[in-house]
Structure 1
Amino acid sequence: MTGIEATGEFVTGALMAGAIERTSGERHEHSEAHALCLNCGTALVGDYCHRCGQPEHIHRSLSAIWHDLAHGVFHFEGQVWNTLPMLVWRPGDLTRRFIHGERARFVSPMALFLFSVFLMFALFSAIGAHFEVPENKPPTEAAQAIARAQMPRAKAELARLIAARAAATTPEAKEALTQKIEKAREDINGLNEITVWKPGRDTNLKTGWPRLDAGLRHANENPNLTLYKIQSSAYKYSWALIPLSVPFLWLLYAWRPQYKLYDHAVFVTYSLSFMSLMVIVLTLLGTVGVSSNVIAPAAMIIPPLHIYRQLRGAYGTRPFRAILRTIALIVFCGMTLLAFLAMLLALGVLG
């Protein structure tokens, strides 16, 4: 993906996220007064209709298209700068304040999640981060001829090593010869792969489900297409991580009736947004040459620390209990990712 395409993804993500954000109510001093809302006909008492929310002032010019584009991106961006510092340093306070009603000041969790996912996949596409299976090319005729010529010598050497091991009198000698025999067998298997080349990749897995067997066969014949489908599904169905995660968090506070499923969903969605943004930052650091000795520990330490701080602030959990719940959530996160990967694999094979 080119830089223009990546920018397009960024703008699309901002517009999509901004589209589900409620406006915080900008005044339009130059607006024309309308006695009735042009959308629903309700009598107006301010800049916005109190029934449907449409602004009293409407645009009707070609420049309005660009105004809406800029407003959608930069109005959302303004809320982002109110939200990001708290998401990074005080995620629990952000979660609690949003749940308790402070909505206009902050980006909603779903909008931020959509924006971060768009941005993350745009970055991956821009830097060419995707998975591919190496192409299974046939060996050349010259390579096959060399392998056939070496095969008798390799088999003779294997037979000699087996006979020598049988005649060995000490355990040390037998062990050394056993290791050489294993190496000789590996060499013979490698020569066999060259002399008896088979296109594709062998799979004898039969499930008894015709559709699944057909999908596995197609995946074996074209693994890169299957990987492409899986990566596309990860982009399209990333939202599924939210309903997969919420039940696990509910289990940790099931005996606390003051916390509703909505509260847990806000917690999970903000947490996933942070993790996506963290992946973006660490990926960018990797592309500019920061050592993996720095990136890998950060990727291991930051997520549990962030979860701990969010639990402490959002639920008022005491330190020791927050540590225990953090450990439990990390285990649950692994289970959630396994379920999500299983879903992606099924979509890639059966889709």
Structure 2
Amino acid sequence: MSGEIEAAGALATAGAVGAALEGREGGPRGGGSCPNCEAPIAGRFCSNCGQHAHPNRKLSGVIGEFMYGLWNFDTKAWRTVPMLIVRPGTLTRNYVYGKRARYLAPLTMFLFAIFLMFFAFSTIQAPTNIRDSSVHITQRDLDEARAGLAEAQTELANARAHPDPDEPAGLEVTLAENAVRLAQQEVDRSERQLAQAQAREARRAQARANTPVQVTVDPSLSTPATTAEAPATTTEGAAPTADAPPAAADDTGDDVETWQDGMREVAENDNFVVFGNANSELNERVRRKFANPDLALYQVQDAASKFSFLLAPLSLPFIALLFLWKRGVTLYDHMAYALYALAFAAILFSAVVLLGEIPWISWASAWLLLALPVHMYFHLKGAYALGWWSAVWRTFFMLNFAFIVASTFTVLVIVLGLAG
């Protein structure tokens, strides 16, 4: 079922992109009849269907049509983007009330901004070093589990030696035995986790031990002798081994692990449950994805790009809720507002990410996020012709609704990416 949903998402996105990027074909002025609808033509385009009089059939025209549709947009993009950033309310209101020839359609602007955002996100480097404290945490859990088991065993011994006369015969002993059994299961689970952590630690210690050795020549011997504690770097006369792996430790000597290692450790946990019970097919499918973190991340990103169009319909009910009593406002107006607002948010996030990659201005990139509520206020005020107080309280609720929509969409794409 998830495959059909994924295919539907890809088809919807591809159709929207195709419609958004479709541009006019070049060619000279025409005459005679239109090749599409056969209506008389007196200029470069058919007055009946709008098609060019002479469609381009050259191979180079394919690239030209694509670049024209992507970058030219009849110069609409260069008018729409500045308006979206500086005067979003005027842009939305003009488009809703019929002044559309100068601007990109809301869906086109949304798709352009979404693709720009995913391109920007693709430049982010995932964190590589994460402190590994699993050994210590697991050891503490094991100590607590053993203490609980000892306490339960003491209670069982007391119940057997001094049964309570007011309780039914055997009830106190049965309850104590159940407590001992549960405590023993907890101890067994903690011991398995500790064994796994110690095995990982042993592999890292082995990797650190397999460092290049220092070879020194003893004049009294005919063969060179190797020192037992050899430093990682060689001095004059040293011959390091060719296949020695580097040490798996950072500058402080603490162990480190990648985020992929962390996900694999989660997948190896016996208590791994995401959907349903631990033995369900869906849960096992997610476990296999966690065992291959790079593939899991790719599939989540792929699902996010394919289903990004759902952001607008998810936002629509919340926007309509804020204007239930306002006359003359339709769902079309809300959808145009939502698409333009989401397009600005995507452009803003793209700018934050790309500027964050520049060292000398990365500290200022996060401050750009403050533009989101300011932009939302002026967008609402201009698009719906609101007073300042009406725009202020609607902005407050809209920010909360945006958080709900973003959280819902994030959960949705994670589920579709991992369970697909």
Alignment TM-score > 0.5, same fold: yes
TM-aligned CA deviation for residue 36 of structure 1: 1.7
Counterpart residue number, 1:112? 109
> Aligned to 2:359, what secondary structure does the other structure show?
coil
Select which of 303, 307, 327 maps to 2:376: 307
Q: TM-score, normalised to structure 1's length?
A: 0.71
Residue 64 of structure 2 aligns with an amino acid whose one-letter code is: H
Contact 1:49 1:55 in 2 (8 A): yes
TM-aligned CA deviation for residue 231 of structure 1: 1.3
- Distance in 2 (CA, whole Å) between partners of 1:131 and 1:236 is 25
Unmatched runs of 5 consecutive residues or more in structure 1: 1-12, 160-189
Counterpart residue number, 1:101? 98
Counterpart residue number, 1:263? 333
| RMSD over aligned Cα atoms | 3.7
Counterpart residue number, 1:8? none
Deviations 1:188-212 (A, max 9, x none): xx98764255974213426149342
- Distance in 1 (CA, whole Å) between partners of 2:62 and 2:199 is 64
Counterpart residue number, 1:215? 285
Select which of 316, 322, 347 maps to 2:391: 322
Counterpart residue number, 1:47? 44
- 1:69 paired with 2:66, answer yes
- 1:349 paired with 2:418, answer yes
TM-aligned CA deviation for residue 79 of structure 1: 1.2
Deviations 1:6-43 (A, max 9, x none): xxxxxxx9x975842686x8996x3231x221012233
TM-aligned CA deviation for residue 306 of structure 1: 0.4
Deviations 1:233-280 (A, max 9, x none): 111111111110111101000122411111111101111111111112
When residues 16 and 238 of structure 1 are mapped into structure 2, their CA distance, relative to the original with a 3 A threshold, is closer
When residues 240 and 132 of structure 1 are mapped into structure 2, their CA distance, relative to the original with a 3 A threshold, is farther
- Distance in 2 (CA, whole Å) between partners of 1:72 and 1:212 is 42
> Aligned to 1:67, what secondary structure does the other structure show?
helix
Residue 265 of structure 1 aligns with an amino acid whose one-letter code is: M
Deviations 1:81-116 (A, max 9, x none): 111111111000000001111222111111111111
Identity %: 32
Counterpart residue number, 1:254? 324
> Aligned to 1:339, what secondary structure does the other structure show?
helix
Contact 1:311 1:322 in 2 (8 A): yes
When residues 194 and 42 of structure 1 are mapped into structure 2, their CA distance, relative to the original with a 3 A threshold, is same
Counterpart residue number, 1:294? 364
Contact 1:226 1:348 in 2 (8 A): yes
- Distance in 2 (CA, whole Å) between partners of 1:121 and 1:37 is 41
Contact 1:132 1:224 in 2 (8 A): no
- Distance in 2 (CA, whole Å) between partners of 1:193 and 1:27 is 67
TM-aligned CA deviation for residue 222 of structure 1: 2.7
Counterpart residue number, 1:32? 30
Counterpart residue number, 1:231? 301
- Distance in 1 (CA, whole Å) between partners of 2:128 and 2:305 is 17
- Distance in 1 (CA, whole Å) between partners of 2:415 and 2:280 is 14
TM-aligned CA deviation for residue 308 of structure 1: 0.3
Contact 2:304 2:413 in 1 (8 A): yes
Higher helix share: 1
- Higher mean alpha-carbon deviation, 265-274 vs 69-78, is at 69-78
TM-aligned CA deviation for residue 309 of structure 1: 0.4
Greater gyration radius: 2
Residue 198 of structure 2 aligns with an amino acid whose one-letter code is: T
When residues 245 and 307 of structure 1 are mapped into structure 2, their CA distance, relative to the original with a 3 A threshold, is same
When residues 132 and 289 of structure 1 are mapped into structure 2, their CA distance, relative to the original with a 3 A threshold, is closer
> Aligned to 1:20, what secondary structure does the other structure show?
helix
Counterpart residue number, 1:172? none
Counterpart residue number, 1:4? none
Counterpart residue number, 1:278? 348
- Higher mean alpha-carbon deviation, 210-219 vs 321-330, is at 210-219
Q: TM-score, normalised to structure 2's length?
A: 0.60
- Distance in 2 (CA, whole Å) between partners of 1:132 and 1:43 is 66
- 1:20 paired with 2:23, answer no
- Distance in 2 (CA, whole Å) between partners of 1:112 and 1:312 is 21
Residue 31 of structure 1 aligns with an amino acid whose one-letter code is: R
> Aligned to 1:273, what secondary structure does the other structure show?
helix
- Distance in 1 (CA, whole Å) between partners of 2:366 and 2:375 is 16
TM-aligned CA deviation for residue 335 of structure 1: 0.5
- Distance in 2 (CA, whole Å) between partners of 1:133 and 1:272 is 34
Contact 1:131 1:227 in 2 (8 A): no
- Distance in 2 (CA, whole Å) between partners of 1:44 and 1:248 is 48
- Distance in 2 (CA, whole Å) between partners of 1:318 and 1:224 is 49
Residues 126-137 of structure 1 aligned to structure 2 (within 5 Å): 127-129=123-125
When residues 349 and 284 of structure 1 are mapped into structure 2, their CA distance, relative to the original with a 3 A threshold, is closer
- 1:195 paired with 2:198, answer yes
Residue 49 of structure 2 aligns with an amino acid whose one-letter code is: C
- 1:85 paired with 2:88, answer no
When residues 61 and 221 of structure 1 are mapped into structure 2, their CA distance, relative to the original with a 3 A threshold, is closer
Deviations 1:307-331 (A, max 9, x none): 0000010001111111100010000
Counterpart residue number, 2:248? none
